[in-house]
Structure 1
């Protein structure tokens, strides 16, 4: 049974994987036996391990998603696994939101995912090979957060995109699933972790059933599972990884 969790002989591309959750997922895939190509916005980080391939590009540029996939396949023709993790947060309060900020959020968090997945799937379909796609959304795709309207909308769209792509690609042997992290210790949420104002971290930990913030590795485990043949009968699903935060309404008193 444990062989089903192995990724020996597999090859993966992970977008947004120069740090944080994305790197943890890339590292998890590597530990499971896969060959891995990482992606980031800037030049290759010095701390990135030697085992990781690396492609820098700005996925908000219209031609970048297809170009990224083409370069990845030129480096690793056997690619059969894709994790779409690139994304960020640019929100301001709703009444202050500009079209520029909205477009920046949707272009990175949603459009780039759509077109990276499309380019990847086109290649697999043309070669008549199956594969696995995992999309990183967020608990914000299920529950709204104050002053996060564009981010929430983009992440909610990813939850439905996961289902829609699963329907579109099932006949081609390509599974599509998602992970929805809650409060995770990453560079993106560093302001929360380092805040000393009013015990903000402690406030949120009381709302989490497991009474701690998550780690990137907590998310990576689920992603590696979904990529593996142990999840071969799962498609169209998004696993919420939040320590139970969204499970209850009130929280501890």
Structure 2
């Protein structure tokens, strides 16, 4: 059964993989045998490993998802795995939210994921090949957070999109699954991790069953598993990777 977890011979595009969870996904896929194309908003980071292919694109632009996928296939014609990880947080308190920030959230977190997955699936269907798509949502798609209305809504949409695309693509041999990370140490959570007032972090550490914030590497295994043949009978599912954060209501006092 060990070989079922290998990604030897597979090739993957990981969006939003210049840093943080996306880079951990890319590294995990590479370490398991896959060829990997990474993606970021700007030029190739100097810290990106030599094994990684790299493409830059602003996925909020209407034509960018299809263009990115086409470029990725040009680099790796055998591409059969897509990790839709690009996303960000632009929220302000609900009563101060603007249409511009809402639209920016939807454009990156929802629309970019949707149309990147569509372009990828179109290519596989055209070539009559199966494959795997993994969508990064969040525990925010399952439980609400203060002053996070647009982000929460966008991540909740991705949980349902995972199911809907699984239905749409099953007959083409394309599996679609999701990962919902909890509180992970990334550039988006730097202010929490390094804040002078540690009370908020300590609160979360009490709420998390495993008593610590996650590292990007803690999430990578789920992406490797869902991309591998070990998950060949799994589609439409979202795996929560949160150290037990969403498992209990109250947490330690």
TM-score w.r.t. length of structure 1: 0.99
Residue 166 of structure 2 aligns to a residue whose secondary structure is helix
* Alpha-carbon distance between aligned partners in 1 of 2:155 and 2:86, rounded to the nearest angstrom: 12
| 1:16 alignment partner in structure 2 | 16
| 2:94 alignment partner in structure 1 | 94
Alignment of 1:1-253 (within 5 A): 1-253=1-253
CA distances 1:98-125 after superposition (whole Å, capped 9, x unpaired):
0000000000000000000000000000
Q: Which runs of 4+ in 1 moved over 2 A?
A: none
TM-score w.r.t. length of structure 2: 0.99
* Alpha-carbon distance between aligned partners in 1 of 2:111 and 2:58, rounded to the nearest angstrom: 12
Once the 2 structures are TM-superposed, how far is the Cα of residue 199 of structure 1 from its aligned partner? 2.3
Once the 2 structures are TM-superposed, how far is the Cα of residue 201 of structure 1 from its aligned partner? 1.3
* Alpha-carbon distance between aligned partners in 2 of 1:198 and 1:133, rounded to the nearest angstrom: 37
Residue 54 of structure 2 aligns to a residue whose secondary structure is strand
CA distances 1:4-59 after superposition (whole Å, capped 9, x unpaired):
00000000000000000000000000000000000000100001011000000100
Residue 44 of structure 2 aligns to a residue whose secondary structure is coil
* Alpha-carbon distance between aligned partners in 1 of 2:104 and 2:161, rounded to the nearest angstrom: 19
* Alpha-carbon distance between aligned partners in 1 of 2:161 and 2:228, rounded to the nearest angstrom: 21
* Alpha-carbon distance between aligned partners in 1 of 2:209 and 2:75, rounded to the nearest angstrom: 43
Once the 2 structures are TM-superposed, how far is the Cα of residue 214 of structure 1 from its aligned partner? 0.5
Question: Structure 2 stretches of 5 or more lacking a match?
Answer: none
* Alpha-carbon distance between aligned partners in 2 of 1:249 and 1:76, rounded to the nearest angstrom: 45
* Alpha-carbon distance between aligned partners in 2 of 1:221 and 1:75, rounded to the nearest angstrom: 25
RMSD: 0.5
* Alpha-carbon distance between aligned partners in 2 of 1:163 and 1:198, rounded to the nearest angstrom: 38
CA distances 1:144-176 after superposition (whole Å, capped 9, x unpaired):
000000000000000000000000000000000
* Alpha-carbon distance between aligned partners in 1 of 2:130 and 2:176, rounded to the nearest angstrom: 11
* Alpha-carbon distance between aligned partners in 1 of 2:19 and 2:97, rounded to the nearest angstrom: 28
